[in-house]
Structure 1
Amino acid sequence: MLSREQELELIDTLRGVHPDEFGLDEELWTRQSLTTLIQRRFELPLDTGAVGAYLRAWGLGPREPRERACGLCVSAVERWVRSEYPGITRAAQEHLAEVYWIGRVRLRGTMPAADVISAVSSRGRVRFMITTPTVDPPLPRDFVLRLSGEEQRTVHLIVDGSWPRNEWPRRLPRRIVLHPLPSCGRVVAA
């Protein structure tokens, strides 16, 4: 297990950098790439399950769509899941694409503060990056592009209320399809 000091050092190490900057073969952080970094940096033989527990403690991992909505939007999200989401999954299957749910959470107890931008696939795969929060930051273009990978896979991205549409990246390649999750504009705390 990491000590609290090691965990905070790890968060600072991950802030604004990607796994490929450490010679790892991933575009964004995953449980596996984080496990490898921890083993190298702290010489701790943690397995991916233990690292997954850290990610869940940081607020990452699969969540129900209603958990991504503020209390005012729950019924709209539930209707959206019944009416719109099946069409998104069909389109993704036709394009051999992955569906990701994108959101942002604030890590508590870090100085300076840290935000984790994450994408969780419909299969439960978590990909993420850590940033230093700014006032109303846009959805990072490089994060969205990295989800598509070097292979330039087609991806369907469901964006929660963390980012209004006017904060989405513009002029993305056609292989990246963004879908808004219904939102009243209030950000959901993790």
Structure 2
Amino acid sequence: MGVALRDARRSVTSWCRRHTIGGDGAVAAARRGHRQGESGALSRQQELELIDVLRGVHPDEFGLDEELWTRQSLAALIQRRFDLTMDAGTVGAYLRAWGLGPREPRERACGLCVGAVERWVRGEYPAITRAAQEHDAEVYWIGRVRLRGTMPAAEVISAVSSRGRVRFMVTTPSVDPPLPRDFVLRLSGADQHPVHLIVDGSWPRNEWPRRLPRRIVLHPLPSCGRTLAPPDRLTA
């Protein structure tokens, strides 16, 4: 009986994680505001090339003054690489097509977790925002999405602030990769600004980075996957 329950838990957790990770990002999606081939728009081949260029690298490696990719730094890279000038709105349309941008908390949960997430928003989220205000910290919601139409596969890890600012990195997915420590540290920035990070069910707690600086506080969004690992101390 114990083995059957463990197997059932693994199945539910696996399904929950696949849902949370998503897969709703799309390369060369139609909803852009520009059609491919028009002035100021990337062709499909250019978009795929851009994604490959972004894999595993950060803006500062291109001499850009950003810790993680934003609309502004991505626009600068597009200008440099393709000689295309794009405003923030056009770049934002690409990011939304990739599955990035603000989402309601319930959209970050699988069907089994929606009720728990809604209760968490009512009961615990207000305390997180109060603590962030007291420490002049920014609140980010962290998640990831797999992009369709890329070869090899591409995954985008993103953080969306409570003010709607998007910061992200592109990786090549592996089997159950942990939440990247470098990504979390870079959200705090070179000035080591305090941040509160809400992590969705893409990563169980045993896949979170350990012994982070006290200025970085991680909060788990309710998820089926949270049952796999008991809470432990994650900050130093």
Smaller-chain TM-score bracket? over 0.9
Instruction: Give the letter for the 1:118 counterpart.
Output: S
In the alignment, what sits opposite 2:116? 76
For 2:171 and 2:100, the matched residues in 1 are separated by 14
- % identical equivalent positions: 89
Of residues 33, 44, 51 in structure 2, which corresponds to 1:4?
A: 44
TM-score calculated relative to the size of structure 2: 0.78
Distance across 1 between alignment mates of 2:225 and 2:216 = 23
The amino acid across from 1:66 in the alignment is R
Is 1:172 aligned to 2:212, yes or no?
yes
From 101, 117, 142, the equivalent of 1:61 is 101
Paired position in structure 2 for 1:50? 90
For 2:87, the aligned partner's letter is D
Shift of 1:120: 0.1
Distance in 2 between residues matched to 1:73 and 1:185, nearest whole Å: 10
Larger radius of gyration: 2
Match of 1:127 in 2: 167
Q: 1:157 aligns with which of 197, 210, 213?
A: 197
Aligned runs of 1:138-149 on 2, under 5 Å? 138-149=178-189
Name 2:80's counterpart in structure 1: 40
- Pair 1:106-2:146 in alignment: yes
Once the 2 structures are TM-superposed, how far is the Cα of residue 146 of structure 1 from its aligned partner? 0.1
Q: Distance between the aligned counterparts of 2:181 and 2:225, measured in 1?
A: 20
Q: Give me the whole-angstrom Cα distance separating, in 1, the residues matched to 2:85 and 2:166.
A: 21
Residue ranges of structure 1 left out of the alignment (5+ in a row): none
Alignment length, in residue pairs?
186
1:185 is displaced (CA, Å) by 2.2
Deviation at 1:55, TM superposition (A): 0.1
Q: What's the CA shift for 1:48?
A: 1.0
The equivalent of 2:21 in structure 1 is none
Superposed CA deviations along residues 148-168 of structure 1, whole A, max 9, x for unmatched, are 000000000000000000000
How big is the shift at 1:46? 1.1
**CA deviation vs aligned residue, 1:125-166 (integer Å, no higher than 9, x gap):** 000000000000000000000000000000000000000000
Whole-Å separation in 2 of the counterparts to 1:75 and 1:57: 27
- Match for 1:141: what amino acid? R
1:136 corresponds, among 154, 176, 179, to: 176
Give the superposition deviation at 1:45.
Answer: 1.1
Return the TM-score normalized by structure 1: 0.97
For the residues of structure 2 that align with 1:34 and 1:101, how far apart are their CA atoms? 20
Could you tell me which residue of structure 1 aligns to residue 59 of structure 2? Answer: 19
Aligned mate of 1:89, from 97, 115, 129? 129
1:172 counterpart letter in structure 2: L
